[in-house]
Structure 1
Amino acid sequence: MSALPATDGEAALLALVREDLRGFGGYSSARSADLRGEIWLNANESPWPNPADAEGGSRRYPDPQPAALREALARLYGVDAARVLIGRGSDEAIDLLVRALCEPRRDAVLVTPPVFGMYAVSARLQNAPLLEVPLVEDGAGFRTDLEAVATVAERGNARIVFLCSPSNPTGGVVPLEGIAGLARRLRGRALVVVDEAYGEFADQPSATTLMDAHPNIAVLRTLSKAHALAAARIGALVAAPTLVRVLRACQAPYPVPAPCAALALAALAPEALQRTAARVARVRGERERLRQALAALPGVRRVYPSQGNYLLVRFADAQAAFDRLLAAGVVVRDQRAAPGLGDALRISIGTPEQNQRVLDTLRAAEKAA
């Protein structure tokens, strides 16, 4: 497991937090104190369970950061539990980071479009300036221009740089050495947040391996994708303990519903993790099969290599492809409103049978034409 970062690194990181929040204690909930007892009368909870709650557990407020789940996530990501903040998917962590680090109208958020839209939404809600460094398309696909990112971040007073790796929707990864170099250059100026929502499907190791040397790196993870718990809304921010403590003070008092925590903990048991790993391997295999088959279709202009559980595909007629798939009962993501993707659809990797329906539908359309 990773060791805790050096004291000077944590001090430099704390300096990135809004000055008025550096000593903020947050709300002290009835479950924040470590108390023991048999009769709990400190949270104004109902003494009786709801008639629909057979086990009666939902009448009590949940643990704000369930210790067993926090430890399980720490083992999963190979870090110390003090580095883990559990939240409602990655979205909550993104919002917390922007609110805690960015002074409105002053501290900017940098993104690399086309990319996941929640970074820009959180910046807008905080009234933080948004800086954009578009991905560069070349023969290998899309890549992040890290030199441009660093320059724009420095000149534009970026407090947070979001790197999506694997990138949604393009599927590319940001090399670890590039992430480390960017963090080194922006130390004391900005937090580099690596969104690894699709990390389980990638070949590259996690950026958590860089955090000992670079405390201004934070990593977003989620159980929504590879672990198939999207409805449970369990995400994790992996960061320096100093930052975790600050964000916890800014977080809602009870962010992790007890039924969701129990489900997540069960999903992280050894047998469940083995089955998940097998399914991830199957998705990776289907991803390559689908990529090759789509690339061979006459109406497909380009299929981008992907390290996620999806493929970005350019079509000669994206509207027709979207409509034909929808008519066949297949819903894909229309990406045409994203910068530079006016002819593209994003197709998630499904079961072999689902993927085959995609291919059969598009092939039938080509024959009909």
Structure 2
Amino acid sequence: MSALGLLRPDLRGFAGYRSARSDAARGEVWLNANESAWPNAADPAGLCQRYPEPQPDALRAALAALYGCAPGQLLVGRGSDEAIDLLVRALCRPGQDAVLVTPPVFGMYAVSARLQGARLVEVPLEEVGGDFVLDPAAVVGTALRSGARIVFLCSPSNPTGGLVPLADIEAIARALEGRALVVVDEAYVEYSDQPSAVALLQGLPNLAVLRTLSKAHALAAARIGCVIADAGLVAALRACQAPYPVPAPCAALALAALAPDALAATRARAAGIVAAREPMRAALAALPDVRRAYPSQGNFLLLRFADAGAALAALLAAGVVVRDQRGARGLDDALRITLGTAAENARVLAALSALEVAA
């Protein structure tokens, strides 16, 4: 079954809005989009005078080359968040279809489901041997019983840091072929030792992969992300996307970040984070107030504390802001701490060590 069969029936064949930049017209005098003929005084170079390309060809080609897919399989958007929202809106009928998530996990899947009026179905991760793991059989069974249209798998998972093995991703997608789209969110895959699930796209039309330049590529404010999927599904999502999703200055910055020298620097930075990750986890795990420091395949660590509130207060007093996870399912004693520079990591350890001395 084609991935297009998973679209909402009322959106099959939907053409969407055709903007002025959707046409391939070429000329010297641009009078087709009601833009100003003069640049803004604060923008003398005219970077923002004209509407940008809806899908910048050069950026799309560079991202496709980086991720190992064809440009037609890739849709660029405002970070992974826009891709998540587009997928839920395009596939889920309000009040009928469901979205399956595996908590504790990134909250935007549930937010997008709620905004679309899609039911949220949960298959919680299980703690086994001091780590969080996914039960593939439970995911498949629950998806089939609930009528889930989308299954979100976060790998490496945020906030737990664990992976979903590629073999499990493939098995889930095959079991749900024709029934649900399996979306693998790989926001942190650059810090992982597992290859991307993009390699599984061949022969799995109901698989999609999310990638972003916000994390390892250090372009969080540029808001550049993409969904990689069956070309037909990508075209359908494009029809549902708002006009001009990629600002021209952001596209130019992203393209520069994908040049060979910049990519080499990004990979070196990611390798440095990976090298520091286990020593930092071990140092945190040795602190008396830390009940558990989970292994991670991301650029962060999830920790359980004897008193998470006191730990959070100590860090804030030291000027260190971390993510409070106590509101997440099963994490009422947990904080998530991003790995920073060596000096920033030392500051975290000093703040938490001081807390132990005071206790």
> What is the TM-score when the length of structure 1 is the normalising length?
0.96
CA distance in 1, matches of 2:269, 2:97: 41
1:113 pairs with 2:103 = yes
Matches of 1:317 and 1:33 in 2, distance apart? Answer: 59
Q: In structure 1, how many angstroms separate the alpha carbons of the residues matched to 2:109 and 2:178?
A: 21
Which SS does the other structure have where 1:281 is aligned? helix
Which of residues 96, 109, 115 in structure 1 aligns to 2:86?
Answer: 96
Is the counterpart of residue 276 in structure 1 residue 266 in structure 2? yes
1:297 aligns with 2:266: no
- Deviation, structure 1 residue 155: 0.3
Q: Which runs of 4+ in 1 moved over 3 A?
A: none
Counterpart pick for 2:69 among 62, 67, 79:
79
> Which position in structure 2 is the counterpart of 1:324?
314
* C-alpha separation in 2, matches of 1:20 and 1:213: 26
Verify: 1:358 aligned to 2:348, yes or no.
Answer: yes
Tell me how far 1:367 sits from its aligned partner.
1.5
Q: Distance in 1 between matches of 2:44 and 2:268?
A: 34
CA displacement at 1:140 relative to structure 2: 3.9
Number of the residue aligned with 2:132: 142
Structure-2-length-normalised TM-score: 0.99
* Counterpart Cα distance in 2 of 1:58 and 1:367: 55
Amino acid at match of 1:226: A
Q: Which amino acid aligns with 1:314?
A: R
Distance in 1 (CA, whole Å) between partners of 2:153 and 2:162 is 11
The 5 A counterparts of 1:1-369 are 9=1, 11=2, 13-369=3-359
Residue type matched to 2:147 in 1?
N
* CA–CA distance in structure 2, aligned partners of residues 28 and 190 of structure 1: 29
Q: Secondary structure at the match of 1:265?
A: helix
Report the Cα offset of residue 246 of structure 1.
Answer: 0.3
Shift of 1:20: 1.1
User: What amino acid is aligned across from residue 249 of structure 2 in structure 1?
Assistant: P
Residues of 1 paired with 2:44 and 2:322: CA distance?
39
Q: CA deviation at 1:14?
A: 0.8
SS at match of 2:297: coil
What SS class does the counterpart of residue 189 from structure 1 fall into?
Answer: coil
Q: Percent identity?
A: 69
Aligned residues: 359
Gaps of 5+ in 2: none
Deviation sequence 1:310-354 (CA, Å, 0-9, x none): 000000010000000000000000000101101000000000100
Deviation at 1:161, TM superposition (A): 0.1
Structure 1: give runs of 5+ residues left out of the alignment: 1-8
Q: Which letter does structure 2 place at the counterpart of 1:198? A: Y
- Distance across 2 between alignment mates of 1:252 and 1:150: 33
TM-superposition CA deviations, 1:213-253 (whole Å, max 9, x none): 21111000000000000000000100110000000000011
Q: Deviations over 1:78-99 (max 9, x none)?
A: 1111111000000000000000
- Give distance in 1, aligned partners of 2:68 and 2:58: 15
Offset at residue 366 of structure 1 (A): 1.0
Opposite residue 81 of structure 2, the aligned amino acid is D
Which residue in 2 is equivalent to 1:3? none
**2:66 aligns to what SS in structure 1?**
helix
Provide the C-alpha distance between the structure 1 equivalents of 2:296 and 2:165, rounded to a whole number of angstroms: 14
Partner-residue secondary structure (3-state), 1:142 = strand
- Counterpart CA distance in 1 for 2:295 and 2:111 is 27
- Give the residue type in structure 1 aligned to 2:13: G
Alignment partner of 1:169: what SS?
A: coil
Residues 185-234 of structure 1: per-residue CA shift (max 9 Å, x gap): 00000000000000100000000010002111100000000000000000
- Per the alignment, in what secondary structure is the counterpart of residue 31 of structure 1? helix
Q: Distance in 1 between matches of 2:114 and 2:66?
A: 33
Q: Deviations over 1:111-135 (max 9, x none)?
A: 0000000000000000001100000
Amino acid at match of 2:5: A
Say which SS state the counterpart of residue 180 (structure 1) adopts.
helix
Structure 2 counterpart of 1:288, which letter? E
**SS in structure 2 of the partner of residue 346 of structure 1:** strand
Match of 1:6 in 2: none
Give the SS at the match of 1:208: helix
